[in-house]
Amino acid sequence: MKELLVISGKGGTGKTTIVGSLAVLAANKVLADCDVDAADLHLLLEPQPVAATEFSASKQAVIHPQQCSGCGICLDVCRFDAIKEIGGRLAVDEIDCEGCGVCFHACPERAIAMEDKLSGHWFISQTPYGALVHARLGIAEDNSGKLVALVRRQARILAEEQRAEYIITDGPPGIGCPVIAALSGVDLALIITEPSVAGKHDLERILQLTRHFGVKPLVCINKYDLHPGYTEEIQQYCRREQVDIVGLIPFDETVVAALVQGVPIVAYEDRNGTREAGSAASAIKEMWTAIESLLTPALSSGS
Amino acid sequence: MGDWKMIVSVASGKGGTGKTTVAVNLALAWSAERAVRLLDCDVEEPNAHLFLDPVWERETTVNLPRPVVDDEKCTACGRCGEVCAFSAITVLGGQVLVFPELCHGCGGCTRFCPTGAISEILQKIGTVSIGRADGLQLIQGRIKVGTPLAPPVIKAVRQEALSGADGEMDRHSQMPVEPVTIIDAPPGTSCPVIAAVRGTDYCILVAEPTPFGLNDLSLAVGMVRKLDVPFGVVVNKAGLGSGNLKEYCEAANIPILLEIPFDRRYAAWYSAGGRLIDKFPELQAGFHQLWRHIEAAAGEEARGGAVRQLQAWEAGKP
């Protein structure tokens, strides 16, 4: 079983659009949406939830006023400025509290309790293209990294049960905690970039990150014809860095039309009989063929 | 206007909707009237400098404390592992193991180690750079690649911007303190965004009119409402996709502050690092209107706040 992660560094380069299409193209796989704070894959895949589970990865300090002597030790020991004095009383700011428990251990009156905090939900759903593991982080919650790790763990369990060949994961933007949680230990990272000054800048940083974690990167330039000059620059940069470019996808308004219909672009084309050479959908199909040959060792695909 | 100050954040649930475009062009348009500082708080992938070409003046390091164990004093009692809520320190086979990438720097292990075997060293997690471009001050945060924690770097950027706020002059640059601060936030709705948006006077949510854009806008609206920050929407790439975004905003009583139409010329100009207001006069007018609108909305909010305070005080009088 091989894990393919789709990431981008910069947001909005087309990760979810591409994962939606790979969901149609790849046979025998489990899908995972690890963009847990702005998940969108479900909008393309019509998931029917099979199971929903609460996710609680952290605790939160709560001060019980009856026991509190107001000594202020908690105020001094908290490094996140989460203890506030409001109207002469000490209280915990639930957004600032990171749940470290230092105040709980330090309080001489034992007036502080650490309570479970609901951080979100995760789901297993059925889609026309296979099983999807996805999640929803609560509004203004932290622990997205832990939720990403949980989604990946569940996707792996499901893939083993179903003897799936691939896990295809929609990753979060950026290079921080949720991305690191999504990246560590995957077989291939497909980086979606765009031909712009910002796209190139962000590609350089996410490539460093894949190196840092020893994951093989592949690059796809989406909307490559919007700025041929930057496409050329990114191609040169990738050659220097010895990173393969597996996809050049043209700007195509059909992609937006498919999105508005809530259908993956490659399925939209088939459905509407508008198949055209040189379209975004045909470029994505070619890209998947290239990726699949890299994921499948030559021996097993040969016979 | 002597003590007039405001902080405006620019956020979005979905990435790539045009936060940086809006933040940079708004900063440039506003700076015709007021001194402006722009904070790039998208510290994982900061991009504002690509459109401003600043002269960097100085750089500070953002550090987080990490535990270091003195094996001579350590009795492997395991107290540190009990205290740590992040599994960043643990005792295994008589040996203490530290996982710095999981550490939040809370100091619990150091504080509660009964033999005083743990001390802290500062580990670099990012940088804050301060520069100037086109009469603006730019303060950029940037996490070190491989570092998971963005919020402490975002907080450091905002702290840096506050450093001169009490006096008339900024203590570093010896320039007057900029009354308008614009924060370019990271995408999403979780802790890094909260660190960038919380406590700002107004939040601009940039959205695109697609089903993804609408879904992520509704999540971002939930976030700003929870933080109790007044907000409005800028629609980018208007005309591309569907009209549901406007219907949503109307139904939820959210003002649409500006619509930037989808135009391949804008996309190409942006791609090459161009600023829209330099090239397209129709957008220049739009961005001028945008800051006037925000000044008025935030002013109204401030007056509304004062009225509410007065009412609360009246209600609480014996």
How many angstroms away from the CA of B274 is the closest CA of chain A? 9
Average of per-residue pLDDT across A109-129: 95
Residues 264-303 in A contacting B (C-alpha not used; CB under 8 Å)? none
- Whether residue A205 lies within 8 A of chain B, CB to CB, comes out as yes
Quick check: A138 and B226 in contact, CB under 8 A? Answer: no
pLDDT (0 to 100) of residue B307: 54
Contact B50 A230 (CB under 8 A): no
* Exposure letters B28-43 (e unless 16+ CB within 10 A, then b): bbbbeeeebbbbbbbb
> pLDDT of B92-129, one tens digit each?
988 999 999 889 999 999 999 999 999 999 999 999 99
- Residue B308 placed within a domain: no
Of B47, B147, B208, the CB nearest to A201: B47
Residues A35 and A282: their CA atoms lie apart, in Å, by 26
Residues A133 and B290: their CA atoms lie apart, in Å, by 41
Long-range contacts of B272-276 (CB under 8 A, 24+ apart): B272/A196, B272/A197, B272/A227, B272/A229, B272/A230, B273/A196, B273/A197, B273/A198, B273/B50, B273/B51, B274/B51, B275/B24, B275/B25, B275/B28, B275/B51, B276/B21, B276/B25
How many angstroms away from the CA of A22 is the closest CA of chain B? 18
pLDDT (0 to 100) of residue B162: 80
Q: How confident is the model at residue B1 (pLDDT cuts 50, 70, 90)?
A: very low
Higher confidence at residue A236 or residue B4? A236
pLDDT (0 to 100) of residue A274: 63
pLDDT (0 to 100) of residue B165: 45
Residues 6+ apart with CB under 8 A from B280: B265, B266, B269
State both tokens at B224: 């700003």
pLDDT (0 to 100) of residue B168: 43
pLDDT surpasses 50 at A302: no
State both tokens at A204: 């350089």
- Whether residue A13 lies within 8 A of chain B, CB to CB, comes out as yes
Residues A129 and B281: their CA atoms lie apart, in Å, by 47
Residues 135-154 in A contacting B (C-alpha not used; CB under 8 Å)? 137, 139-142, 144-145
Q: Are B234 and B164 members of one domain?
A: yes
Q: Are B181 and B272 members of one domain?
A: yes
pLDDT (0 to 100) of residue B172: 46
* Exposure letters B189-220 (e unless 16+ CB within 10 A, then b): bbbbbbbbbbebbbbbbbbbbbbbbbbbbebb
Q: Are B69 and B158 members of one domain?
A: no
Q: How confident is the model at residue B33 (pLDDT cuts 50, 70, 90)?
A: confident
Contact B273 A197 (CB under 8 A): yes
Average of per-residue pLDDT across B292-310: 69
Report the range out of A203-212, A251-260, B235-244, B303-312 with the highest average pLDDT: A203-212
Q: Are B49 and B181 members of one domain?
A: yes
How many angstroms away from the CA of A155 is the closest CA of chain B? 23
Residues B166 and B169: their CA atoms lie apart, in Å, by 8
- Residue B80 placed within a domain: yes
User: Beta strands B231-238 and B6-11: pairing type?
Assistant: unpaired
State both tokens at A294: 């890299």
How many angstroms away from the CA of B1 is the closest CA of chain A? 31
Question: Could you tell me which chain A residue has the CA closest to the CA of B17?
Answer: A12
Q: Are B172 and B201 members of one domain?
A: yes
Q: How confident is the model at residue B317 (pLDDT cuts 50, 70, 90)?
A: very low
Q: Are B272 and B140 members of one domain?
A: yes
Q: How confident is the model at residue B311 (pLDDT cuts 50, 70, 90)?
A: low
φ and ψ of A137, to 5 deg: -80, 140
Q: Are B214 and B155 members of one domain?
A: yes
Q: Shortest CA distance to B191 belongs to which of B152, B141, B143, B162?
A: B152
Residues 6+ apart with CB under 8 A from B3: none
- Residue B307 placed within a domain: no
Question: Could you tell me which chain A residue has the CA closest to the CA of B18?
Answer: A12
Report the range out of A250-254, A260-264, A284-288 with the highest average pLDDT: A284-288
- Residue B90 placed within a domain: yes
Higher confidence at residue A142 or residue B48? B48
Q: How confident is the model at residue A283 (pLDDT cuts 50, 70, 90)?
A: very high
DSSP string, chain A: -EEEEEE-SSTTSSHHHHHHHHHHH-SSEEEEE--TTS--THHHH--EEEEEEEE--EEEEEE-TTT-----HHHHH-TT--EEEETTEEEE-TTT-----HHHHH-TT--EEEEEE--EEEEEEEETTEEEEEEEEPTT---HHHHHHHHHHHHHHHHHHTT-SEEEEEPPSSSSHHHHHHHTT-SEEEEEE-SSHHHHHHHHHHHHHHHHTT-EEEEEEETGGG-HHHHHHHHHHHHHHT-EEEEEE---HHHHHHHHHT--HHHHHHHHT---TTSHHHHHHHHHHHHHHHHS-HHHHH-
Of A9, A99, A179, the CB nearest to B85: A99
- Residue B315 placed within a domain: no
> pLDDT of B270-285, one tens digit each?
999 999 999 999 999 9
> pLDDT of A127-143, one tens digit each?
999 999 999 988 877 77
Return the number of other C-beta atoms located less than 10 Å from residue B120's C-beta: 15
Share above pLDDT 90 across residues of chain B, in percent, rounded to a whole number:
77
- Residue B316 placed within a domain: no
Residue B161: how many CA atoms within 13 Å on its side-chain side?
30
pLDDT surpasses 80 at B309: no
- Residue B148 placed within a domain: yes
pLDDT surpasses 50 at B170: no
Q: Identify the CATH number of the domain in which residue B235 sits.
A: 3.40.50.300
Q: Are B15 and B151 members of one domain?
A: yes
- Whether residue A228 lies within 8 A of chain B, CB to CB, comes out as no
pLDDT (0 to 100) of residue B303: 59
* Exposure letters A146-171 (e unless 16+ CB within 10 A, then b): bbbbbbbebbbebbeeeebbbbbbbb
List CB contacts (< 8 A) between A101 and chain B.
83, 85, 108
Contact A176 B149 (CB under 8 A): yes
Quick check: A176 and A166 in contact, CB under 8 A? Answer: no
State both tokens at B17: 């909707």
pLDDT (0 to 100) of residue A152: 97
pLDDT surpasses 80 at A182: yes
Tell whether the torsion through CA atoms of A168, A174, A180 and A186 is positive or negative. Answer: positive
Higher confidence at residue B302 or residue B262? B262
Structural domains counted in chain B = 2
Residues B161 and B177: their CA atoms lie apart, in Å, by 9
ipTM, interface predicted TM-score of the complex: 0.92
- Between A and B, how many CB-CB pairs are < 8 A? 191
Higher confidence at residue A274 or residue B263? B263
Q: Shortest CA distance to A203 belongs to which of B145, B157, B207, B20?
A: B145
Contact A173 B267 (CB under 8 A): no
Q: Are B217 and B273 members of one domain?
A: yes
Of A139, A229, A262, the CB nearest to B223: A139
Q: Are B117 and B136 members of one domain?
A: no
> pLDDT of A30-72, one tens digit each?
999 999 988 999 999 999 999 999 998 889 999 999 999 999 9
Test mutation, A13, A15, A16, A40, chain B, max B CBs within 10 A:
A40
Contact A43 B268 (CB under 8 A): no
User: Beta strands B136-143 and B36-40: pairing type?
Assistant: parallel
Quick check: A166 and A26 in contact, CB under 8 A? Answer: yes
Q: Indicate the SS3 state at residue B15.
A: coil
Q: Could you give the domains of chain A?
A: 2-56+122-296 (3.40.50.300), 58-117 (3.30.70.20)
pLDDT surpasses 60 at A250: yes
Average of per-residue pLDDT across A218-242: 96
Residues A116 and B168: their CA atoms lie apart, in Å, by 46
Residues A10 and B307: their CA atoms lie apart, in Å, by 42
State both tokens at B209: 């009119």
Q: Are B229 and B88 members of one domain?
A: no
Q: How confident is the model at residue B167 (pLDDT cuts 50, 70, 90)?
A: very low
pLDDT (0 to 100) of residue A140: 77
Q: How confident is the model at residue A144 (pLDDT cuts 50, 70, 90)?
A: confident
Test mutation, B40, B44, B244, chain A, max A CBs within 10 A:
B44
> pLDDT of B194-210, one tens digit each?
999 999 999 999 999 99
Residues B48 and B10: their CA atoms lie apart, in Å, by 12
Question: Could you tell me which chain A residue has the CA closest to the CA of B271?
Answer: A196
Domain range for B147 is: 6-62+126-302
Test mutation, B19, B62, B144, B190, chain A, max A CBs within 10 A:
B190
Q: How confident is the model at residue A119 (pLDDT cuts 50, 70, 90)?
A: confident
- Residue B309 placed within a domain: no
Return the number of other C-beta atoms located less than 10 Å from residue B318's C-beta: 2
Q: Which residue has the tokens 């999807």?
A: A132
A95-99, A163-167, A274-278, B210-214: segment of lowest average pLDDT:
A274-278
Q: Identify the CATH number of the domain in which residue B76 sits.
A: 3.30.70.20
A130-144, A206-220, A221-235, B17-31: segment of lowest average pLDDT:
A130-144
Q: Are B231 and B284 members of one domain?
A: yes
Tell whether the torsion through CA atoms of B221, B290, B199 and B64 is positive or negative. Answer: positive
How many angstroms away from the CA of A28 is the closest CA of chain B? 26
Average of per-residue pLDDT across A170-180: 94
Average of per-residue pLDDT across A161-176: 96
Cα A159–Cα A161–Cα A162 angle in degrees, nearest 5: 65
Quick check: A276 and A250 in contact, CB under 8 A? Answer: no
For residue A224, the one-letter residue type is Y
pLDDT (0 to 100) of residue B304: 59
